[in-house]
Structure formats: C-alpha cells, structure tokens
Structure 1
Amino acid sequence: MSNNSSVAVFVQRQVNFRLMLVQMLVMIFLCINMLLIVTFFKKECFHTSARYILFAVMLLSDSFVLIISDVLLIVNYFQFSIQIWLCTIISVVTLLYVMATPVTLTAMTLERYVAICLPMRHAELCSTRRSVHCILIIHVVSSVPGMMTLIIFMAIAPFGLYKQKALCSMEMFLLQTWQRHLRSAASQFYFLIMCIVIIFSYVQIMKVAKAASTENKQSTQRGLRTVTLHAFQLLLCLIQLWNPFIEAAALQINIALFIDIRYINYIMFSLASRCLSPLIYGLRDDLFFQAVRYYALCGLYKKQQSC
C-alpha cells in the first residue's frame, strides 16, 4: 500500500508540475502576442497595409485559441463538467480559429505573391477594403469544418444529450468512426489546397527573383524567405492535425506513453507554434520590429522608423 501511495503522490506531483509549466508558458506567449497586437493597433500606418492586417488577424486567432485551450485544460484537470450544448458552442468556435491560422497564412502568401509578381496591381488588389473582405472570406472558409462537425453531430445525437454534462473535448462530438475519417479527409483537403497555393507562389516569386535586377533582388529574396516561413508555419499546423493519429497509436501501446506524447504535442504544436512563429515573422520586418522595440521599452527607444 505504501508503494502504491508513493507512486500516486509522484504522479500527482508530476501532473501538477506540468499544469504549472503550461500556465507559465501560456502567460509568456500571451504577453508576447499582446505586445505584437498592441504594436499593430498603436501604429496607424499598419492599418492600411494588407500584410499587417492579416498578420494581426493571425495573432488574434492564435491568442484566442491559446486562451480557450488553456481554460479547457484547467476545467478538465479539475474534472469540472459542463453542459454539452455549451461545449458544442465552445468547440465549434475554437475549431474555427484553429483553422483560421493556416487559412490566414495562405492569404498572406498570396499577398506576397501579388506584391512581388504583380506590383502594379498590388495597391488595387490589397487595399484596406479588400483586406476586410478577405478577413470575412477567411472566417467563412475556416468555419466550414466546424459547421460540418456540428451539423453531423446534431443529426445523429439524441436531443436529450444536450442537457447532459460532460468533460468538454472535441472528441465527444465524434460518435461514429466515419466522422473521424470525414474530419480528417476535410482537413487534408484544406491543407492540400494551401500547400498548392504556397508552392505556386514560391515558384512564381522564384522566377521573378531570377529575372530581377540587382536593386530589386534583395526585396524579392525577402519575399522568398517570407513564403518559406509561411510554409514552415503551415507544416506545424499540419503536424498538429496529425497529432490525434499519433496519440491514438500511443494509447494502444501504453496509457503513460499516450499522456506524455499528448503533453509534448500540446506544448510544441499548440502553444509554442502559436507564439514563436508569429514572433519570428514580426521581428523579421524592420518597420514592425522598430515599433515593437519602441513599445516594449515603453518609449525609451526613440529611433522609430517612420511609416
């Protein structure tokens, strides 16, 4: 009994440590994202550029997902069940913004393609008004997987189920095995289209880079690096999509292995990727970096670049 008690205490301490570590990381990542968001809203010149507008949309989406996923983690840790109708709303909205990040990345890639390959039409195609329309399209496209999951769940779930309470998770809406396959197929289709867009943009920008003069080559090379970064961010999103399959395989082997892999996946692909990649992207831009440094140092750094 004493050995079992010692093991239980050790496991509980390990779980508590992991929960505290997640809270620390969430706070750090949210502070970084908030700094980037505040920088965007403080500088009016960013409000007229499609590139920065889409970047702000991605930051807001990632910050929302960070907050909601952390709240659900805490709620499930304390075994606090909520009514399924409320969990349904939370899960659909969360899935919308999970999908919004890769869709926004695709839109940002297209903006770089227009800026480099169609510079004469960039002001027309990437105006502030069209950026607002693009944001609406991003949300409509991103909502399709969540709405599809919701509609199927409402069609096959008994009405009395909505009044019941349970631990909230996306898995509870997948009542049949074919639902998992359908959700996976839809996600894979989305990412296939996104990969095609990014590869097309990269190839077209590469052609322009080879034909560019010396004075334009540096700008074109920056565009290539930006598209490459978008491809890396999209890869992280794709890996996050594969996580449930990896975790399911681990669950068949060992429950402890399943818990460890799920925890690592959450840290690397749900938390870190939603902060580090946007931070790298923001700091690569000279104008945005100068503004971030100015507000991070509370105005002590005076050498801001004018827009």
Structure 2
Amino acid sequence: MKNSCLHSLEHVILSFLKNFITFAIAIIIIFINGTFVYTYFKSHVFQRDPRYVLYIHLVINDMIMLTIAVALQIMAYTLPLKLAPCCILLSSKTFFFINSAPLNLAGMALERYIAVCKPLHHVQICTVQRTYGFITLIWAISLMPSVTDVIFLVATQPLSIFSRNVICYESNISTHLPLCRPQGLLLCFVFLTVLITYLNVLWAARAASGLNQASARNARNTILLHGVQLLICMSSFVFPFIDIMLVTTWPEKRSTILFTTYLISGILPRLLSPLIYGVRDKTGKILFVSLL
C-alpha cells in the first residue's frame, strides 16, 4: 500500500513537472513572438512589406498552435474531454499547423525567389494586396481537412459517440475516429517548392556580382533556413518511429522519451521563426532590438 502511494505521488510530481516545463517554455516563446507581433503592428514599414506580412502571419499561427498544443497536453494529464470538443481542438491544431509551416513557408520562399530571380517584376507581383490574397488562399486550403473531418464524421458515426469521455491526444483519438490528415503530402509539396526556389536562387547568386550577389546570397541563406524549418516540421512524422525504437530499447523510460521528443518536435520549433527574421535579417533586427 505504501509503495503504491509513493508510486502515485511520484507520477503526480512528474506530471506536474512536465506540464510546468512545457507551460514555461510556451510562455517564453509566446512572449517573444508576441513582442514581434506588437512591434509589427506599430510600424507601417513592416506592414507595407509583403515578406513581413507573411512572416507575421506565420508567427501568429505559431502562437495559436502552440497555445492549443500546450492546452491539449495539460488536459491530457488532468481531465478527460468529450469527444466532440476534443476533435474540434485537434482539428484546430491541424488547421493552424498547415496554415503556418507548409504553406506560409512556401509563400515566403517564392517571395525571395521572385525578389532575386525576377527583381524587375518583384514590385508588381509581390504586393501587399496579393499577399493578403495568398493568405486567404492558405486559409481556404487549411480549412479543407477540418471540413472534410466534420462531413465524414457526421455522415459515418452515430452522434452518441461524441458524448464519450476520452483522454484527448491524437494517437488516442485515431483509435476512435479516422480523421483526415494530409500534412505529409503538403509538406512534401512544399519541400519541393523550397528546394526548387533555393536552387534557382543559388544559381542566381553565382551569376550575380557586387551588391546583387550579396542580396542573392542573403536570400539563399533565408530560403535555406526555411528549408531547415520545414525539415523540423517534417520530423514530426519521423519522431513516432523514433519513439517506438527508443521505447522498445528503454521501456522503463517511456514517459521521459515521449515528453522529450514532444518538446523537440512540437514546442521548440515555434521559436525558429522570430530567430530567423529577428536576428539575422537586417530589417528584422529592429524587431529583435525591441526585445532588449
């Protein structure tokens, strides 16, 4: 009996520590991103630049997705949810993931490609109005999986199933309901887009000279960093297999392994966007200085 109580107490302490660590990291990331968002809306210079319109859209989506992800983690440890609100939260997380990582990164890479490879047409093609139109298209595409989920579930499942209590995390829900998850296909498409734009900018950088070469080199490095972002996002599909291998090897450390890989693949990448544009980008350094 005593050993059972000690084991329960240890489980509660570990659960609290995991939630506290995740919550603390999320608050720091949201604070940094929120400062960038605040500075953006205070400056008309950034609002008139299409690349920063896309950038701030990416940051806002990351903030919302991070908030939902942390809320889902805390609820998974503390209280069960009805299946209906759980599906809504998971679909929302998927929506903001597609909204930010794959499609927004593709738009940002294409903008850099046009700026370097078609500089005479950049002002005409990459306008703020067209950028908002592209963002609207991103939202429409991102909504499709969620709308498909709702139509499919209502058509195939009895309504009574949505009143069940469940521990709300995706691998658990997939045993109850099959949901539409096209992230893998989108990520592959965007990866090809980023790769093609990077190669074109690389060739342009080699052919350019003087200031044009420096501009092309900066654009090439920016696209390369977007590729790194994308690879980290794609790693979320690899980590489940890594989890299986690690848990099989060290089954007694299952909880620690799953928590660590979750932090690496799900939480920390949300900090990359402000670092890429806030630290290395010359104009973005104004945003970074605002943190100091």
Give the structure-1-normalised TM-score.
Answer: 0.86
Q: How many Å separate the matches in 1 of 2:10 and 2:169?
A: 26
Partner of residue 166, structure 1: 166
**Secondary structure, counterpart of 1:286 in structure 2:** coil
The letter for the 1-side match of 2:51 is: R
Q: Which aligned runs of 4 or more in structure 1 are off by greater than 4 angstroms?
A: 248-256
Whether the 8 Å contact between 1:97 and 1:142 is mirrored in structure 2 is yes
Whether the 8 Å contact between 1:153 and 1:173 is mirrored in structure 2 is no
State whether structure 2 residue 286 is matched by structure 1 residue 290.
Answer: yes
Q: For the aligned residues, what is the CA RMSD?
A: 2.3
Q: Map residues 188-227 of structure 1 onto 2, 5 A cutoff.
A: 188-227=184-223
Partner of residue 152, structure 1: 152
After superposition, what is the alpha-carbon deviation per residue over 1:111-131, rounded to whole angstroms, capped at 9, x for unaligned?
100111111111111101100
Q: How many Å separate the matches in 2 of 1:86 and 1:252?
A: 33
* 1:56 CA drift (Å): 0.3
What percentage of residue pairs aligned between the two structures are identical?
24
Q: How many Å separate the matches in 2 of 1:288 and 1:115?
A: 17
Q: How many Å separate the matches in 2 of 1:96 and 1:237?
A: 14
Q: How many Å separate the matches in 2 of 1:90 and 1:198?
A: 30
Q: How many Å separate the matches in 2 of 1:173 and 1:244?
A: 16
- Bigger mean CA deviation after superposition, 238-247 or 100-109: 238-247
Q: How many Å separate the matches in 2 of 1:17 and 1:164?
A: 29
Partner of residue 96, structure 2: 97
Q: How many Å separate the matches in 1 of 2:272 and 2:14?
A: 26
Q: How many Å separate the matches in 2 of 1:258 and 1:48?
A: 49
Q: How many Å separate the matches in 2 of 1:83 and 1:5?
A: 29
Q: Map residues 21-40 of structure 1 onto 2, 5 A cutoff.
A: 21-40=21-40
Q: How many Å separate the matches in 2 of 1:137 and 1:107?
A: 11
Give the structure-2-normalised TM-score.
Answer: 0.90
Partner of residue 60, structure 2: 60
Unaligned runs of 5+ in 1: 298-307
Count of equivalent residues: 291
- Bigger mean CA deviation after superposition, 127-136 or 83-92: 83-92
Partner of residue 85, structure 2: 86
Whether the 8 Å contact between 2:32 and 2:291 is mirrored in structure 1 is no
**Secondary structure, counterpart of 1:32 in structure 2:** helix
The letter for the 2-side match of 1:164 is: R
After superposition, what is the alpha-carbon deviation per residue over 1:117-156, rounded to whole angstroms, capped at 9, x for unaligned?
1111111111011001110111122233333344333333
